[in-house]
Amino acid sequence: MDVNAAVAAAAAIAGLCTGVIAMLAFRWSERDQARPTRTSLHTDAVLPPGVDTVLSVLRSSAVVLDESDSVVKASSAAYALGLVRGGKLAVEPMLHMARDTRRDGEIRQVELDLPRRGTGRGEALAVSARVAPLGSRLVLLLVEDLTEARRIEAVRRDFVANVSHELKTPTGALSLLSEAVMDASDDPEAVTRFAGRMQIEATRLTNLVQELIDLSRVQNDNPLEDAEPVRVDELVAEAIDRSRHSASTKQITMAAGGTADLHVWGNRGQLAAALGNLVENAVNYSPARTRVGISARRVAAPGGDLIEIAVTDQGIGISEKERERVFERFYRVDPARSRATGGTGLGLAIVKHVAASHGGEVTVWSSEGQGSTFTLRLPEAGAVRDRSSTGPDRVDEDDDRPYDTDPNAEIPAPEVLP
């Protein structure tokens, strides 16, 4: 009897313990499910309805902070800009703005220069930050990247300043020369001399205005809208004819050679202007009794064959430091020579824009005192040729040395044009 009672008591105790354990496990499970996870802190559960959807379509970088300054929601752009690190807002001025807005509910905006992540060159990232309250507990931070807009504005200011300076020089000279002509009205020889100078300055002014128009056109137009196959031989002949008189005056021989019957795809007028500028520069910067060579060939490229047109001179050459700037607007390697030849400093900038708009590029090889080679690479017109074929017109893709970089090298099958 006592044994049965003891067994019954033990069973009752065991059942009671099992029930207690089950109840505790159930309570623990409910508590664990109710506990917010790291993911739930960044979802709609803590944001007002619809806010998450709106933030996902904004172009600005968005960050939502709670009352403890923890990041509740942040867009991928905010992480890319380095605004959020380790779940916290990493920019101290923005954090202070958020706290002030949380305290008084006022909307604040400020422009800041932030260090760019991943670069050791000290480049600044220009941003505009706007902070506003979001409900009673949250603060919304919107950050707009202004770096590109500021760069474009700086380019515009520099361009306007350069244009103003370049226009002022010939117009001022014309004004002074006209006064000199009036004062020397009784001296026919002086009038003739001053009139000649006026013609030079008027020509320089005309060229500058025309090149400004050309530069504006190649920047704004889409040349591929009216694209057509253009024979390279015709472009070369037109460029040579354009500089024939100045080359003859300096006794410079122009030689054309390379592969015949090549075609490029693009706007004929713009391509002719670009190649004409390269040949004209080669003649202007070459000493008397030298040679300018224009050669064309086909080169293999991963995306389709390219036509490479190289213009080689035996001129003054370009230093390594200046080589990086020769395609800038109004930049001149030798300002004194540019004044003597009437150069505007826009020719190579036009070439660069034409090449880029046609899906190509322009590069330069140069050595001081030995000459320069400007190479214009453009997509070939027509079907892409079999890249597995080999021939005299192809080059090794690993060879990045420009064609005929040696000014004294022979140009294959040249046609000498005096």
Task: Tell me whether residue 70 is in a domain.
Answer: yes
Which residue did the predictor score with more confidence, 156 or 414? Answer: 156
Residue 103 lies in a domain: yes
- The residue out of 113, 145, 177 marking a domain boundary is 145
Task: Please report, for the domain that includes residue 207, its CATH number.
Answer: 1.10.287.130
Q: How far apart are CA 255 and CA 92, in angstroms?
A: 65
Average pLDDT, the chain: 76
Cα–Cα separations (whole angstroms), residue 116 to 74, 75, 80, 124, 142: 19, 18, 10, 6, 18
Q: Is residue 295 pLDDT above 90, yes or no?
A: yes
pTM given for the model: 0.52
In this structure, the answer to whether residues 103 and 229 fall within a common structural domain is: no
Residue 131 is predicted with a pLDDT of 92
**Lowest model confidence (mean pLDDT) among 153-167, 290-304, 396-410:** 396-410
Q: What angle do CA 129, 133, 135 make, to 5 degrees?
A: 145
Could you count the other beta carbons within 10 Å of the beta carbon of residue 46?
Answer: 18
What does the pLDDT read at residue 86?
A: 81
250 lies in the same domain as 333: yes
Domain containing 67 — which CATH number?
3.30.450.20
Q: Which of 203, 220, 237 is the last residue of a domain?
A: 220
Give the pLDDT band (50/70/90) at residue 137. Answer: confident
Question: Residue 42's pLDDT is what?
Answer: 43
Indicate if 206 and 227 belong to the same structural domain. no
**Residue span of the structural domain in which 158 resides:** 149-220
Q: Predicted confidence band at 35 (pLDDT cuts at 50, 70, 90)?
A: very low
Mean pLDDT of 372-391: 66
The one-letter amino acid code at 363 reads T
Is the same domain home to 135 and 172? no
Are 106 and 244 in the same domain?
no
- Do 408 and 290 belong together in one domain? yes
pLDDT digits (tens, 9 = 90+) for 231-283: 999 999 999 999 999 899 999 999 998 888 899 988 888 899 899 999 998 99
**How are beta strands 291-299 and 263-266 bridged, if at all?**
unpaired
Q: What is the pLDDT of residue 300?
A: 87
Indicate the pLDDT class of residue 2, thresholds 50, 70 and 90: low
Q: Phi-psi bin for 122: left (phi > 0), alpha (psi -120 to 50), beta?
A: left
Highest mean pLDDT among 88-102, 148-162, 208-222, 377-391: 88-102
Q: Are 257 and 414 in contact (CB under 8 A)?
A: yes
In a domain, 192, yes or no: yes
Report the pLDDT value the prediction gives residue 118, as an integer from 0 to 100: 54
pLDDT digits (tens, 9 = 90+) for 36-84: 443 334 444 467 777 777 777 777 888 998 888 888 888 888 888 888 8
Domain count across the chain: 3
Q: What is the pLDDT of residues 159-191, one digit of tens each?
A: 777 777 777 878 888 888 888 888 888 888 888
pLDDT at residue number 154: 76
Digit-coded pLDDT (tens) for 145-163: 888 888 778 777 777 777 7
Q: Please classify residue 225 by burial: count the beta carbons closer than 10 Å to its beta carbon, then call 0-12 exposed, 13-18 middle and 19+ buried.
A: exposed
Residue 15 pLDDT greater than 90, yes or no: no
- Quick check: 405 pLDDT over 60? no
Is 365 found in the same domain as 330?
yes
Query: By percentage, how much of the chain surpasses pLDDT 90?
Result: 17
Please report which confidence band the pLDDT of residue 411 belongs to, taking 50, 70 and 90 as the band edges.
very low
Q: What pLDDT shows up at residue 53?
A: 74
Per-residue pLDDT at 310: 95
- 171 lies in a domain? yes
Count other Cβ atoms within 10 Å, centred on residue 194: 20
Confidence of residue 125 (pLDDT cuts 50, 70, 90): confident
* CATH classification of the domain holding 353: 3.30.565.10
- Report whether pLDDT(409) > 50: no
Q: Is there a contact between 289 and 252 (Cβ–Cβ < 8 Å)? A: yes
Q: What is the pLDDT of residue 396?
A: 39
